[in-house]
Amino acid sequence: MRTDTGQVFRLEDYRASDYLIPATDLSFRLSPDATQVTAVLTVERREGVAASVPLVLDGDGLVLKKLSLDGAPLEPTSYEATSDRLEIAALPAAQRFTLTIETELSPAQNGALMGLYLSNGVYCTQCEAEGFRRITYFLDRPDILSVYTVRVEARKDAAPLLLSNGNPVEQGDLADGLHYAVWHDPFPKPSYLFALVAGDLGTVSDRFVTRSGREVALGIHVEHGKEALAGYAMDALKRSMAWDEEVFGCEYDLAVFNIVAVSDFNMGAMENKGLNIFNDKYVLADRETATDADFANIEAVIAHEYFHNWTGNRITCRDWFQLCLKEGLTVYRDHEFSADQRSRPVKRIAEVRTLRALQFPEDQGPLAHPVRPRRYREINNFYTATVYEKGSEVVRMIRTILGAETFRAGMDLYMKRHDGEAATIEDFLRCFEDASGRDLSQFSLWYHQAGTPNLTVGSAYDSATQVFTLEIEQSVPPTPSESRKRLMHIPLAFGLVGEDGRDMAWKTVEGAQVEDGVIHLRKRRHSVRFSGIASRPALSLNRGFSAPVTLSVEQKSDDKIFLAGNDSDPFARWQASNTLFTDALIAASRQVRGGGQPAFPDDLAALAGRIADADDLEQAFRALAIALPGEADVAREIGSDIDPDAIFAAREALARRIAETNEGRFRALYESLRDDGEYVPDATGAGRRALRNALLDYLTLLDGGRTLAAAHFGDATNMTDRAAALTALTHRHPSSTQADEALAAFEARYGTDPLVMDKWFMIQAGVPGPQTVETVRRLTAHRAFSMVNPNRVRALIGSFANANQTGFHRADGEGYRFFAEMVLEAERRNPQLAARLATAMRSWRSLEAGRREKARAALLAIAGAENLSTDLRDIVERILT
């Protein structure tokens, strides 16, 4: 584990390596405690580089056994080797030479889950971002592209399945119970895409025929006995392959495509060329064990990793500063896939909710950084919502600005021009400029400048001249190391909605470029005048969430209610109701803090009832539209001096008001949505269940609510309904007999299934109130919990810190103290996991004074611990800065 303070890497310091490695031959003889690795590297000196320039290779905790150059052993005096670095100064004069390196690894002791490690007896690798250097010494950077040939040897009884990147070449038996397999990947790739899997796994096989007629063998490899749970993942993979051909013209390029599901994994999945390695939660599912959300996530993550075959693998990033080039672009592609497979409006709302929950706080706090960072100390800490989610939004804005046809032309040019290369953001944008003839230099600030832009919008209508005027001003708040901001190009989709609910047409427009329903904002202030407007319109802004901005709009409540019921844009319609609820909760929380009772407008509860009953809307949309903003969402809008208990009290009061006002309507609708037919995890079925469970959440607040939720739990025929009922019982009635009985029944039924038990941990970690910290502490001793497994830790500790505003932010600070203990415990074995947990503290400065000081004390306790890894120290020091 690296415990140094960490070098700061800067974008402006990038320079190409003096050496290339065009071919890499690897041989593994696998053993839990003493794996032998032989790397034969074909090394090439760049033109113009002197032979006196040393070759310096990266390592991380390596044990060097042997070293030879062009077949001749090197004397120890001719090189310098540490566990983290190998430098060879005495090199041949020839431009190309062969370096052979032998190292020894202990996969069984690799608790960091980077490099080569064991997961439930299965050897697997994780090399992104810098894990390959834990396997052998190498130029471990993404711009070193190499053709890999890999030989894997292992005991046949322990590891009958031997996989690596590319296509299989040969396999056979060896003496002493060993066997081998050789794999070759003809496509040059960076070291972070190397993968190896060896173990005893069950296999689900299928085939896919590409549009050019090539047959691809598909395999999903899982623990024995779980093969039936991989069927949906295989179906999602085949749909992804077909969609990418149809929508982006991207055809798969190898003879095989393998997915392996492992239970110990730091991330969601990894797109290694031809051999994707997945966290098993994004592969395994059936109606008994997985919710509708799980099925949707499996579909999205399978697609995301497959789509990387072109946007990430065939075209990779020149350096880690360009990470968004592969991740943001591929998130956009998987979002589009999911929108086409399910409901585009519902998917869009879900995307924006995720962005606001994860990325907006990042942009507003000490961890803010541009979509393309300019500096980093630990690259593992930049796999962030900014790079992924905001990076996706930037790609979406390019499509909005250029239009679908020109956007596709730019993508085609990018694929053609940079196939087989390590590219940059500038390369990417230049393709769209060349395809469109447009200058995107101002737009490129979305990649280079941190912070969430805010648009302040005022409007005026002159009935005499029939002119409607918008006054729009843009600003970007200061972020760490960046106090002065430049003006952005912001594409703002809008509509002027008339009394009949239809968009109004105008005769002329002045003050800004307006095309295809989008105002292009490029200056600090725009005064946009629309003529020929016969009556005052209701203003619909940022339709489809055309830009990742915040809005400060002067708008009457009546207009918002009108838009919530009539806007033709589904996202804007949802946004109107969400804004109404948020504004009411902010006002009510202030009333609570002042010692009063929360009060709400009468029309708010009625609005929720009308939306729930609106048969012209998708059921999934109605479920989202009647759901109140979360406590963290309200806190984010308040911004400072936050009292989580006051927000919780206000939210509970509004939920009860809505439930009481609409009791008859909600009960009737709840009963009408009962469906005893076959469970299907499609958009229609998921939408019906989402609406019914949203209604259950409200009805549980009323008399008889506990009985209703207990019956819902008992009658459930799928995990979606069962988990929803358990959540309603435990969160609304945590001390009830019904809640205790349901928790015990759930544990008795699923106690041996780790992924399902994660739901059990998550639900209990999210129970509101100060008592939950003791519950979570007790659950860390549960037989199904393990601090070694990232999924278990995220389910219990991560959920408590990120999804329980009243429990985590307990007024006496005990939630913070407990969390600090858990972060340091995770740190001892898995620094990446600890660092990602610690980001839950990023908004501590926004709390009211008492909690703020207690949170700071917990952060200082983490920072003051001995031998902190670079991963965790980097996060904590930036949060404290």
Give the whole-angstrom CA distance, residue 19 versus residue 97.
11
What pLDDT sits at residue 676?
A: 84
Q: Write out the two tokens for 575.
A: 């946004």
Which residues are within 8 A (CB) of 48 and not within 5 positions of it... i.e. 6 or more apart? none
Half-sphere exposure of 89 (CA within 13 A, CB side): 6
Which residue, 151, 163, 150, 149, is CA-closest to 199?
A: 163
Catalytic hit among 305, 351, 389, 827: 305
For β-strands 122-126 and 196-199, DSSP reports them as antiparallel
* Identity of the residue numbered 111: G
Contact 257, 271 (CB under 8 A): no
What pLDDT sits at residue 273?
A: 98
For β-strands 178-189 and 63-69, DSSP reports them as unpaired
SS3 123: strand
For β-strands 202-209 and 35-45, DSSP reports them as unpaired
Residue 688, H or E segment = helix 683-699
Indicate if the alpha-carbon torsion angle 156, 159, 160, 165 is positive or negative: negative
- State the average pLDDT for the chain: 97
What pLDDT sits at residue 481?
A: 87
Which residue, 352, 400, 399, is CA-closest to 570?
A: 352
Indicate if the alpha-carbon torsion angle 638, 643, 648, 649 is positive or negative: negative
Indicate if the alpha-carbon torsion angle 561, 340, 128, 126 is positive or negative: positive
Residues 227-279 pLDDT 10s: 999 999 999 999 999 999 999 999 999 999 999 999 999 999 999 999 999 99
How many other C-beta atoms lie within 10 A of the C-beta of residue 783?
Answer: 7
Residue whose entry in the numeric block shows the structure tokens 């009539």: 566
Please give the DSSP secondary-structure letter assigned to residue 206. E
Q: Write out the two tokens for 234.
A: 């295989």
Listed as ranges, residues in the chain with pLDDT below 50 are none
How many other C-beta atoms lie within 10 A of the C-beta of residue 860?
Answer: 12
Report pTM.
Answer: 0.98
Residue whose entry in the numeric block shows the structure tokens 């009658």: 715
Indicate if the alpha-carbon torsion angle 699, 705, 709, 715 is positive or negative: negative
CA 574 from chain centre, in angstroms, equals 23
Q: Could you give the angle at the alpha carbon of 291 between the alpha carbons of 286 and 296, nearest 5°?
A: 90
What pLDDT sits at residue 3?
A: 52
What pLDDT sits at residue 2?
A: 53
- In whole angstroms, how far apart are CA 797 and each of 775, 778, 854? 11, 12, 18
Which residues are within 8 A (CB) of 633 and not within 5 positions of it... i.e. 6 or more apart? 356, 357, 582
Which residue, 297, 330, 307, 309, is CA-closest to 165?
A: 309
Contact 117, 99 (CB under 8 A): no
User: Is 305 annotated in the active site?
Assistant: yes
Residue 515, H or E segment = strand 513-515
Give the whole-angstrom CA distance, residue 547 versus residue 557.
23
First to last CA, the chain: 24
Longest dimension (CA), the chain: 95
